[in-house]
Amino acid sequence: MEEYNKIIESLNIKFIRSNSLNVIRSVKVSNFYDVQNTVIQVKSGVIQITEDEIAKKGDLVFIPGGKSVEITFGDSDTTEVTNESFINDRDSYLRKITDDVSIHTIQTSFTSVTFDAKAFDSVNFFNSLDIPPFIIPEQVEVNEAIDKIYQESLGEKPGKDRIATNLTEYAVIEVFRHVLEQKLFVEQIATNSNYFKDPRLIDIFNFIKDNLSSDLSNKILANVANVSEDYVGQYFKMLTGINPQDYIEYQRMEKAVELLRTSRKSIRAIGSEVGYKDTAYFCRRFKMMFGIPAGKMRRRDSLMNV
């Protein structure tokens, strides 16, 4: 367990947003996707992520950032749509709850908390472990934390973001404890937590995070890790399961999403800031990765931010 304590201590958890939503029209999203992590607390009705995995009142649905999942909100007269169609027309399916009464008066409703969880302030933790979306049976303490996070997000009291982040940190650690206690995804965690043991790889992660706009060729990475250029790709993939250039592109796109959602910079400027000199190429790669154009990501923000 000492190794897992080190992993938890390395995490930088940041609360992003919380919403409570009514499902006003049942919908199945064939490739639901977001770069940030989301935990969904079912308030009423059902949410389904596979044919056999159905979350009911009190259960939690955990969706790691960067993982595509087929997800169904509600269970009657379901419309099946793609992720892009859902984003374009989400107000037809979800409606924000504005009071504590309405959440219990319809068939399906839920509260979501969206957050970042970075290991060593650079690696998307749950994505790096290759953990798929999963359901957690009702846990009273976590549900209470989610309710408090949502209430804090509604208010204007001093320190609300700090409290929301602290509560999110607690909820995330409880999720990870559940994974360990139930021995879920044992093989993935054993294989993909190797990078916590190698400081050279952490140096590479941190260098990439700090230099997204610069040349990040294997030659440069080899110098950072003090290994040969011929070996650095094999070394990186051996410990992470992916090649370094694929990892770099994901980090660049993740940063691009953050900038689209939090700044008014042009798409050209954002592409350049994350290492793409050719704006058209940046836009093509963005659409290929997320299924929607960069401009729509800016206008629509997050699937859970109605």
> pLDDT (tens digit, 9 = 90+) per residue, 111-135?
999 999 988 788 888 988 888 999 9
| The overall pTM is greater than 0.75 | yes
- The CA distance from 129 to 64, in Å, is 10
- The CA distance from 92 to 281, in Å, is 32
Q: Is the pLDDT of residue 204 over 90?
A: yes
DSSP designation for 202: H
Helix boundaries (H) for 183-243: 186-192, 199-210, 218-225, 229-240
- The CA distance from 10 to 198, in Å, is 13
Share the mean pLDDT of the chain.
89
Please classify residue 219 by burial: count the beta carbons closer than 10 Å to its beta carbon, then call 0-12 exposed, 13-18 middle and 19+ buried: exposed
- The CA distance from 261 to 39, in Å, is 20
Class at the top of the CATH hierarchy for domain 1-191: mainly beta
- DSSP reduced 3-state for 176: helix
- Structure confidence at residue 300 as a pLDDT band (50, 70, 90): low
Please, are residues 36 and 65 in contact by the beta-carbon 8 Å criterion?
A: yes
Backbone phi and psi for residue 7, each to the nearest 5 degrees, phi listed first? -60, -45
pLDDT digits over 64-99, tens only? 998 889 999 998 788 999 988 898 888 899 988 865
The domain locations on the chain are 1-191, 198-297
- The CA distance from 180 to 200, in Å, is 27
CATH number for the domain whose boundaries are 198-297: 1.10.10.60
